Each structure stands twice: as C-alpha cells, then as structure tokens.
Amino acid sequence: MRFHDLCHTFGTRMAGVGVPMRTLQEWLGHRDAKTTAIYADYSPSEREREWVESAFARATSRATKPSETERAEID
C-alpha cells in the first residue's frame, strides 16, 4: 500500500458521499481540478447508494438488537 493509494481511496470515498469537487481539490492539495477528477473517479448512482444504505441498515439493526437466541445467551 502506498500513500498515493490512500489519497485515491479518500478522494473516491469523499466524492461518493457528495463532497463538492472544489472542496475535495483543496483537501487533496491539487492545483488543477482535472487531477482531483482522477482521484474522484467514482460516484455511486442513487440506486447503488440505496443498496449500500439498505445493506448496512440491516447489519446495524442486527448489531444493535440482539436476537431472541442471543438475548437468552446473555441472560
């Protein structure tokens, strides 16, 4: 793993959650917006965002609410 890989991941994830390109450009320290566009090459579609939110919402609700069996094991 290189530092460059971390920058690319950061840029991609921030673009994916809707951080404006100008803000991302400043955070990454790029002079040229075209360079930032390379790092922020992915932005999920609305449908993809819904799928991810749905998947993590179920995982979160399971993580925060123990099942009947888990509650019996805790008691």
What are the extents of the domains in the chain?
1-43, 45-75
pLDDT value at residue 69? 57
Q: Which pLDDT value is given to residue 75?
A: 53
Q: What pLDDT does 26 receive? A: 94
State residue 10's pLDDT score: 87
Helices (H), the chain: 3-16, 21-28, 33-39, 46-64, 68-74
Tell me what pLDDT residue 37 has. 84
Query: Given this model, what pLDDT does residue 32 score?
Result: 92
Under-50 pLDDT residues of the chain: none
- What is the phi/psi pair of residue 64, to 5°? -90, -20
